[in-house]
Amino acid sequence: MYGYYGYGFDPTFILIIIGLVISLWASWFVKHNFNKYDQYDSRRGTTGAEAARYILDQARLQNIQINRISGNLTDNYNPGDKTLNLSESTYGSTSVAAIGVAAHECGHAIQDQKSYAPMRLRAALVPAVNLGSQASIPLIFIGMIFGMNHTLISIGIWLFALVVLFQVVTLPVEFNASGRAIRILSSGDLLESDEVPMVKKVLGAAALTYVAAAISTALQLLRLILIFGNNRD
């Protein structure tokens, strides 16, 4: 891939393939679970937006505005402008899956309210990670062009490691938001008790996509280390 191996087969490329397969499987799995439980309308008939409003108000977060945004599974909480943004598949839907996703985003809003430490760490890493994800591969290339300049290559690999760290820090943030959502929905205000396990399936599948992303990036890092770690003079 980097031309460095000439025309020979690069055995470390298998790591990229493994990461790709894991990511594709996880993205299929989350869509499969969402679509499955999107067919179950909650018996209370609450929409995703109504559920979110209720949860936020209960948490004394009346100031947080709920917006409807385009797309599917593009739902997010924006800590910058304190808005909860629900996609078309969530906002007006009364499905168990939609209420689960809306509650998960409320979980992020509550994390923000409580200054949840992993969320703060994650936010603090964003500028460095943006730099890292843009500069790491070009730096490695430049390092190779300039006669395998180990300093440049090492900086590139460290920047890439920062991206892996970011994805690892994302995991507790996502798992905690889903944990909060499930606890809130288990209280019985919004869902019947037999609907809660369906939410657990949807949010569990969504969490897996973050695990898959972290594994796949870690495998890419491992590959860089395998390729360039062996070539120190």
CB closer to Zn ion, 38 vs 174: 174
Nearer CB in complex with Zn ion: 53/122: 122
Least distance (Å) between residue 124 CB and Zn ion: 18
* Torsion (CA) 115, 120, 122, 124 in degrees, nearest 10: 160
- Please, how many CA atoms are within 13 Å of residue 168, restricted to the half-sphere of its CB? 10
Cβ-based nearer residue to Zn ion, 96 or 101: 101
CB of 142 to Zn ion, least distance (A): 36
Q: Which stretch binds Zn ion (CB under 5 A): 41-49, 59-67, 124-132, 175-183?
A: 175-183
Closest separation in Å from C-beta 174 to Zn ion: 5
Handedness of CA 99, 89, 206, 118 (dihedral sign): negative
Residue 80 to residue 97: CA distance in whole angstroms: 26
Residues that bind Zn ion (rule: CB under 5 A) add up to a total of: 2
| Contact range with Zn ion by CB under 5 A, out of 45-53, 143-151, 176-184, 225-233 | 176-184
- Among the listed ranges 24-32, 44-52, 167-175, 181-189, the one in contact with Zn ion (CB under 5 A) is 167-175
CA angle 219, 225, 227 (to 5 degrees): 105
CB 39 within 8 A of CB 95: yes
Is there a catalytic annotation at residue 174? no
Q: Which residues face 76 on adjacent strands? A: 85
Could you tell me the smallest distance in angstroms from the CB atom of residue 146 to Zn ion? 41
Question: Is the separation of the CB atoms in 158 and 147 below 8 Å?
Answer: no
- Phi, psi angle pair for 82, to nearest 5°: 55, 50
Which among 50, 88, 105, 195 is annotated as catalytic?
Answer: 105
For residue 66, list its beta bridge partners: 84
Q: Interface mask (CB under 5 A) for Zn ion, residues 50-89, using x and -?
A: ----------------------------------------
Q: Looking at the annotation, which residues are catalytic?
A: 105
Give contact residues for Zn ion (rule: CB under 5 A).
174, 177
